[in-house]
A = this chain, B = another copy of it.
Amino acid sequence: MKILVVNSNITPSVTDRIGAAARAVASPGTDIEAVTAPFGLPLIVTRADWLVAGPATLAALQARCGTYDAAVIACFGDPGLDAAKELIEVPVLGISEAAFHAAAMLGRRFGVVSFTAALRPMFEECLAHHGLTARCTGFRMGPAFAGDPGKVAEERLELLAGLCAESVEQDGAEAVILAGGPLAGIAPLLQPRVAVPLVDGTQAAVRLAEAMAGLVPRSPRPRRPRTLTGFPPEVASAYAG
């Protein structure tokens, strides 16, 4: 089985990190191909970023079309997810979608922890979009962060351990999602200090994509060919039928 993992931004070092996290949990026999969005922005933070990351993600999915059994959109907020589910013949999962569903199956109620409160509105919205707000005990997030995202996991490790403890002890979380791209891969560092399962979105998405890939037949959605202008050819090809 092959899973395509798409980094929705254009920074290859992030793609490498995502690919490593994905391979760490893939089943024997599963091949992971991690790709970088062919255009777009170096980092996806705001709703405006999310808007352009959608077609960029679709371009990456479309470019490899037919070569994978399931795909993962590895960007919190799941840009392009609903369109991809409509256009791509195999299962496509977002890492926030996967984190919410996996956490809900691992604990009756789950908390969300991240390093900065700036991400909270987007996470809340994303959680509401996936319909699982009632399963969430709430958000525990650190203060504004102006440093290097690549180092935040290490710099704020103590803070994160504390936020996880609050989520478990005060809010009653029975699983905790570590949310936000810069926290990918740090679950193993924190898990020994947290009494409940920690969920990494990318890793949850890979395992759930394997599950979905085997479950339903590829069902080509009815589609009428149309001409799309103004976008790179990979995007236009998704609409060409």
Contact = CB atoms under 8 A, between A and B. Distances in A.
B172 A214 contact: no
Interface residues on A, range: 35 or more
Contact of A101 (B104, B170, B198): B104
Given A27-B27, A40-B229, A50-B83, A91 B106 contact: yes
Contacts of A212: 102, 105-106, 207
Contacts of A68: none
Interface string A23-49: 001011100000000111110001110
A54 interface: yes
Contacts of A238: 48
A215 B239 contact: no
Nearest to A197: B216
Contacts of A199: 215-216
Contact of A172 (B10, B91, B120): B120
A210 B29 CA distance: 14
A237 to B, nearest CB: 12
A20 interface: no
A93 to B, nearest CB: 6
A82 B51 CA distance: 9
A15 interface: no
The 6 closest A-B pairs by CB, nearest first: A39-B230, A121-B172, A51-B83, A207-B211, A211-B211, A48-B83
A131 interface: yes
Interface string A55-96: 110110000000000000000000010110111000101000
A105 B97 contact: yes
21 contacts: A10-B229, A40-B229, A40-B230, A41-B226, A47-B85, A51-B80, A52-B228, A85-B107, A91-B106, A101-B105, A102-B215, A105-B208, A106-B212, A106-B216, A108-B121, A120-B172, A128-B134, A131-B134, A204-B215, A207-B215, A230-B231
A137 B121 CA distance: 9
Contacts of A239: 41, 48, 52
